[in-house]
């Protein structure tokens, strides 16, 4: 069965520090992978996605993620965190080749940024 695990429920970093949010997935084939961010009162905003090709994906707001097939991981990184990055981050997986579009989400990681 498809599943997504985000092992860190809450992460706290200082502004300017580097960030890595972990995501592991379980899927029968190579999936589509997404990272979404949710700020308070806002919807889920797409940060980046992996479909195929280069396993290092660049997204908005200076985020990047690396797909590692051998580890079934799609970790999100940012070299220098800004206070405005404080939000909840969701990893999601979708079915390659599916016409249905269903996404499976992780539980989310809440990021707190200290000034």
Partner 1 sequence: EPEVTQTPSHQVTQMGQEVILRCVPISNHLYFYWYRQILGQKVEFLVSFYNNEISEKSEIFDDQFSVERPDGSNFTLKIRSTKLEDSAMYFCASSLLAGGETQYFGPGTRLLVL
User: Looking at 10-18, 41-49, 56-64, 72-80, which segment touches partner 1 (CB under 8 A)?
Assistant: 41-49
Those residues with Cβ within 8 angstroms of residue 88's Cβ, 6 or more apart along the chain or in another chain: 37, 38, 39, 108, 109, 110, 111
How far apart are the C-alpha atoms of 89 and 107, rounded to whole Å? Answer: 9
Q: Which of 23, 57, 63, 108 binds partner 1 (CB under 8 A)?
A: 108
Is residue 29 part of the contact set for partner 1 (CB under 8 A)?
no
* Per CB under 8 A, 53 contacts partner 1: no
Is position 41 an interface residue for partner 1 (rule: CB under 8 A)? Answer: yes
| Rounded Cα gap, residues 72 and 45, in angstroms | 23
Taking CB under 8 A as the rule, does residue 49 contact partner 1?
yes
DSSP state of 29: S
CA 59/CA 37 separation, integer angstroms: 12
The CB-of-15 to partner 1 minimum distance in angstroms stands at 26
**Residue number with CB closer to partner 1 (9 or 115):** 9
- Best CA proximity match to 27, nearest among 109, 111, 97: 97
Which residues are near partner 1 by CB under 8 A? 4, 32, 34, 36, 41-46, 49, 51, 90, 92, 94-108
């Amino acid at each position: 069965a498809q599943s997504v695990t985000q092992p860190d429920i809450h992460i706290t970093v200082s502004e300017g520090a580097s960030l890595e949010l972990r995501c592991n997935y379980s899927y029968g084939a190579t999936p589509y992978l997404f990272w979404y961010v949710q700020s308070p009162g806002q919807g889920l905003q797409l940060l980046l996605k992996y479909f195929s090709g280069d396993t290092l994906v660049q997204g908005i707001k200076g985020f990047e993620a690396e797909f590692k097939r051998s580890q079934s991981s799609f970790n999100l990184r940012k070299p220098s965190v800004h206070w405005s990055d404080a939000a909840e981050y969701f990893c999601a997986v979708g079915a390659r080749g599916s016409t249905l579009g269903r996404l499976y989400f992780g539980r989310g990681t809440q990021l707190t940024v200290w000034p």
